[in-house]
């Protein structure tokens, strides 16, 4: 039985879906692009013309249009006959109210009209294809099953991609692809013929619009359909070497291989002028009101002139920019991050972003207060430009993250200032500025670079501004990684630590995300830095301020754990410093005493470990486990781990008895560390980051975890050893009752 026989028997079947599926199976097809049309349904011309005349009334029921659509033949004369009915169908779906359209759409799909339209797409006649695309897009809006049915055939998806090169078909083809992708597994772009050629031909607004599709195909959006897949436990499975390479990584590599693609994306994201902007207007809303006034005036003055719809003026440029910024951000957090960071640096992304940043207007610039709509307050940040600013800051975060080109955020003047900052006896400068690969020609122009501009905006933004989260994240990303005393001092000189600390202790109502990002930034500023710790100690000099700060830290332990880690590392570093001033400071500082003593360390470990479970670990809270590990490793490095674990066990069992139970804390901790071992051994990048940020060799991390999870219950540095030890062994002859009386 030959494939040709199968093709003749099934491909010409009266069931179009069978035809489509069979063509996929045997790889066969007709001799032209319209070969999917069911020609067996066609009869003589006179019969078809009679049917068309019978249904020519504009008020014909939808069901009468179906046999006419089935009657389409390859001959050109039939194209002219079918077009009026396609136009009528498109009008019916456009002019009716929503309930009527939904009923109409359901009826059309139930009578297999959708499959007929799919065959018309391949007619090769431009207007027929365009009308078919428009109708299909309308059906997808009102019939949930429509996009699912279309997703069953890869041919329609391929044809829609091929249509991207047509100015006439692009918009409708893009909408159709977006609808289909919502109901399909992640699309491997390698399956689209000539994808690289198609992408290379997209420019300007076409490229920006296509970014919506790229955002779906090069990201992990599919894993969030089920929130359980967001955990690190699920990520471990996806990163297993035996699991195939994720489709998003394949798509990123394919897309990045297109010559000039990144350049076009950068140009789209940073193009100037940035609209709307007028001179002498203080706020964003003033600029938008001025734009609206100008557009209305133009329309009134020239009523017969065809102007671009105002909605396009509002959404077009801004949303195109947002899409380009977002896709660049996705590439910067993907598998090819290092390559993208280097290429974007050479494309002068940072100075272009700096120029774009100058166009932004922040709320602290606000002059007079306008009347506001119900539900909107003086702190409301509703503006068409919010998304642009958010994606802009997200892009900065991705660019700076462990990037050897991060100093491009400085101006040449600031770069020279940075190189003049010399380490002190107690400071740490792991980042070798002399070996930096950056060129001053790639830096920001002017006196202040992009980093300084972001810091100045952060210092002026309201403490509850939604922008603060990404402003803090952008700066924290710049300073994170290898410890750089010079970068820390550079930011200290600009008043950043004082501002962040004051904003935390002087604000009553705080958003969780802002608290976390603020503490993360503080943790990087004070880590191993004597100047920063001394400055913070002075800021929290009064008992009331210190109490307020510690209360916030203990109430928001997960959010503040990176700050706790930084303070613990700094205290330990100063205690073992050769600088007498640093040693004296850490021994006498009220602030550092709260992060220095063994009793405090044990308390933090217990609280942090109880906050997390294996099945709810994420990138956000896994830091709690790492902070606990660092505290334990500092004891291990001083050969005091048995004593630390003994005191930890004593405290846990004491608390368990006070509540009349004996929760398996040590087993829970051991389970977390077992997962930690599986997770980090698969991710070399994360291992390097842990080593750089803590200045503890990863081999020591590994050995410590191996010892803690050892199955040897006789080892005094194994958690199992202390799980089998009951409280009475520690308290000797002291009864629980007498102990509680002492407490």
Query: Alpha carbon of 173 to those of 98, 105, 161, 215, 218: distances in Å?
Result: 23, 19, 7, 17, 19
Buried-state track 647-683, b at ≥16 Cβ within 10 A, e below 16: bbbbbbbbeebeeeeeeebbebbbebbebbbebbeee
User: Is residue 40 domain-shared with residue 150, that is, in the same domain?
Assistant: yes
Q: Which of the residue ranges 73-77, 89-93, 299-303, 423-427 would you say has the lowest mean pLDDT? A: 73-77
Q: How confident is the model at residue 104 (pLDDT cuts 50, 70, 90)?
A: confident
Domain end: 147, 164, 184, which one? 184
pLDDT digits (tens, 9 = 90+) for 635-680: 999 999 999 999 999 898 888 777 656 568 899 999 999 999 888 8
Nearest residue to 120 (alpha-carbon basis) of 38, 57, 56 = 38
- Bond preceding residue 152 cis, omega within 30 of 0: no
Q: How confident is the model at residue 538 (pLDDT cuts 50, 70, 90)?
A: very high
Domain end: 143, 160, 184, which one? 184
User: Is residue 22 domain-shared with residue 138, that is, in the same domain?
Assistant: no
Residue 23 in any domain: the answer is yes
pLDDT at position 23 is 42
Which H or E run includes 45? helix 45-54
User: Is residue 137 domain-shared with residue 105, that is, in the same domain?
Assistant: yes
Q: Which of the residue ranges 79-88, 321-330, 596-605 would you say has the lowest mean pLDDT? A: 79-88
User: Is residue 40 domain-shared with residue 172, that is, in the same domain?
Assistant: yes
Q: How confident is the model at residue 741 (pLDDT cuts 50, 70, 90)?
A: very low
User: Is residue 11 domain-shared with residue 56, that is, in the same domain?
Assistant: no
Q: How confident is the model at residue 29 (pLDDT cuts 50, 70, 90)?
A: very low
Q: Which residues contact 165 (CB under 8 A, 6 or more apart)?
A: 198, 201
Rounded mean pLDDT, 329-336: 92
Q: Give the whole-angstrom CA distance, residue 517 versus residue 537.
A: 21
Contact present, 616 and 231 (Cβ < 8 Å):
yes
206 pLDDT above the threshold of 70: yes
pLDDT digits (tens, 9 = 90+) for 119-152: 778 777 888 889 889 988 888 888 888 888 888 8
Domain end: 150, 166, 184, which one? 184
Q: What is the pTM of this model?
A: 0.81
User: Is residue 25 domain-shared with residue 84, that is, in the same domain?
Assistant: no
User: Is residue 177 domain-shared with residue 35, that is, in the same domain?
Assistant: yes
Contact present, 87 and 131 (Cβ < 8 Å):
yes
Contact present, 36 and 23 (Cβ < 8 Å):
yes
User: Is residue 15 domain-shared with residue 148, that is, in the same domain?
Assistant: no
Residue 562 in any domain: the answer is no
Q: Give the whole-angstrom CA distance, residue 622 versus residue 562.
A: 11
Residue 178 in any domain: the answer is yes
Q: What percent of the chain has pLDDT over 90?
A: 44
Higher-confidence residue of 383 and 569: namely: 569
Residue with tokens 């990520």: 235
User: Is residue 24 domain-shared with residue 90, that is, in the same domain?
Assistant: no
Q: Which of the residue ranges 382-386, 408-412, 591-595, 629-633 would you say has the lowest mean pLDDT? A: 382-386
Residue 148 in any domain: the answer is yes
Which H or E run includes 40? none
Residue with tokens 């279309």: 150
Radius of gyration of the chain (CA): 32
Q: Give the whole-angstrom CA distance, residue 98 versus residue 19.
A: 33
pLDDT at position 79 is 64
Contact present, 406 and 350 (Cβ < 8 Å):
no
Nearest residue to 649 (alpha-carbon basis) of 734, 706, 728, 735 = 728
Q: How confident is the model at residue 174 (pLDDT cuts 50, 70, 90)?
A: very high
User: Is residue 88 domain-shared with residue 38, that is, in the same domain?
Assistant: yes
Q: Which DSSP category does 743 fall into? A: -
Nearest residue to 18 (alpha-carbon basis) of 153, 139, 108 = 153
Residue 548 in any domain: the answer is no
365 pLDDT above the threshold of 50: no
Q: Which of the residue ranges 54-58, 626-630, 637-641, 698-702 would you say has the lowest mean pLDDT? A: 54-58
In terms of residue numbers, what domain contains 694?
612-743
Give the alpha-carbon dihedral of 413, 414, 416, 419, to 10 degrees. Answer: 180
Residue 449 in any domain: the answer is no
- Bond preceding residue 273 cis, omega within 30 of 0: yes
Residue 637 in any domain: the answer is yes
Q: Give the whole-angstrom CA distance, residue 506 versus residue 454.
A: 22
Rounded mean pLDDT, 467-490: 94
Domain count, the chain: 3
pLDDT digits (tens, 9 = 90+) for 388-411: 999 999 999 999 998 999 999 999
595 pLDDT above the threshold of 90: yes
User: Is residue 161 domain-shared with residue 50, that is, in the same domain?
Assistant: yes
Exposure of 140 in the CB half-sphere (CA atoms within 13 A): 24
User: Is residue 10 domain-shared with residue 68, that is, in the same domain?
Assistant: no
Residue 444 in any domain: the answer is no
In this structure, the chain runs to a length of: 743
């Amino acid at each position: 039985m030959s494939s040709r026989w199968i093709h003749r028997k099934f491909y010409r079947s009266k069931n179009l879906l069978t035809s489509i599926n069979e063509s996929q199976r045997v790889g066969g097809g007709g001799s032209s692009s319209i070969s999917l049309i069911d020609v067996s349904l066609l009869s003589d011309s006179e019969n078809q013309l009679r049917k068309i005349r019978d249904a020519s009334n504009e008020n014909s029921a939808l069901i009468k249009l179906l046999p006419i659509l089935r009657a389409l033949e390859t001959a050109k004369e039939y194209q002219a006959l079918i077009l009026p009915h396609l136009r009528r169908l498109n009008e019916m779906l456009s002019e009716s109210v929503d309930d009527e359209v939904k009923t109409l759409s359901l009826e059309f799909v139930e009578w297999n009209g959708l499959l007929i339209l799919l065959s018309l797409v391949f007619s090769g006649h431009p207007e027929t294809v365009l009308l078919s695309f428009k109708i299909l897009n309308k059906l997808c809006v009102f019939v949930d099953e429509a996009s699912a049915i279309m997703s069953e055939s890869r041919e329609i998806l391929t044809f829609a991609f091929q249509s991207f090169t047509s100015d006439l078909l692009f918009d409708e083809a893009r909408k159709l692809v977006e609808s289909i992708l919502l109901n399909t597994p992640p699309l491997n772009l390698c399956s689209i013929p000539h994808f690289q050629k198609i992408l290379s031909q997209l420019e300007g607004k076409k490229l920006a619009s296509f970014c919506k599709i790229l955002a779906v195909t090069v990201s992990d959006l599919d894993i969030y359909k089920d929130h359980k897949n967001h955990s690190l436990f699920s990520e471990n499975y996806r990163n297993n070497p035996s699991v195939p390479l994720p489709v998003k990584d394949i798509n990123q590599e394919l897309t990045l291989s297109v010559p000039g693609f990144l350049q076009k994306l950068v140009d789209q994201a940073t193009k100037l002028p940035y609209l709307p902007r007028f001179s002498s207007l203080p706020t964003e809303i003033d600029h938008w009101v001025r734009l609206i006034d100008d557009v209305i005036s133009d329309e009134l003055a020239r009523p017969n002139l065809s102007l671009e719809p105002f909605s396009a003026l509002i959404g077009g440029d801004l949303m195109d920019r947002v899409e380009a910024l977002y896709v660049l951000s996705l590439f910067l957090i993907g598998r090819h991050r290092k390559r993208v960071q280097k290429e974007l640096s050479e494309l002068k992304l940072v100075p272009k972003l700096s120029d774009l940043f100058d166009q932004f207007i922040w709320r602290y610039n606000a002059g007079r207060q306008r009347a506001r709509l119900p539900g909107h307050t003086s702190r409301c940040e509703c503006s068409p430009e919010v998304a642009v600013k958010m994606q802009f800051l997200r892009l900065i975060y991705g660019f700076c993250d462990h990037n050897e080109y991060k100093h491009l955020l400085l101006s040449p003047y600031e770069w020279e200032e940075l190189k003049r900052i010399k380490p002190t006896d107690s400071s740490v400068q792991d980042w070798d500025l002399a070996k930096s690969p950056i060129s001053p020609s790639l830096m920001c122009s002017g006196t202040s670079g992009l980093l300084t501009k972001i810091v100045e905006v952060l210092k002026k933004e309201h403490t509850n501004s939604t922008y603060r989260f990404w402003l803090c994240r952008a700066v924290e990303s710049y300073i994170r990684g290898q410890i750089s005393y010079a970068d820390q001092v550079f930011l200290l000189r600009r008043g950043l630590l004082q501002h962040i600390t004051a904003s935390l202790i002087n604000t009553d109502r705080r958003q969780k995300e802002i608290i976390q990002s603020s503490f993360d930034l503080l943790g990087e500023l004070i880590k191993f830095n004597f100047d920063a710790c001394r400055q913070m100690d002075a800021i929290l000099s009064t008992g009331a301020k210190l109490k307020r700060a510690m209360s916030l830290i203990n109430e928001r332990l997960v959010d503040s754990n990176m700050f706790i880690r930084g303070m613990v590392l700094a205290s330990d570093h100063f205690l073992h410093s050769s600088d007498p001033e640093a040693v004296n400071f850490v021994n006498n500082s009220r602030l550092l005493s709260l992060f220095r003593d063994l009793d405090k360390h044990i308390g933090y470990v217990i609280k942090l470990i109880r906050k997390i479970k294996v099945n709810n670990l994420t990138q956000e809270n896994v830091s709690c486990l790492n902070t606990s590990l660092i505290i334990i490793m500092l004891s291990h490095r001083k050969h005091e781990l048995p004593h630390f674990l003994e005191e930890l066990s004593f405290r846990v069992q004491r608390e368990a008895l006070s509540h009349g139970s004996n929760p398996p804390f040590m087993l829970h901790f051991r389970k977390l560390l077992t997962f930690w071992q599986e997770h980090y051994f698969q991710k070399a990048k994360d291992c390097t980051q842990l080593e750089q940020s803590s200045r503890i060799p990863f081999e020591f991390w590994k050995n410590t975890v191996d010892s803690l999870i050892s199955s040897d219950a006789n080892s005094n540095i194994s958690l199992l050893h202390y799980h089998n030890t009951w409280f009475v062994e520690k308290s000797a002859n002291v009864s629980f009752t007498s102990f509680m009386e002492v407490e």
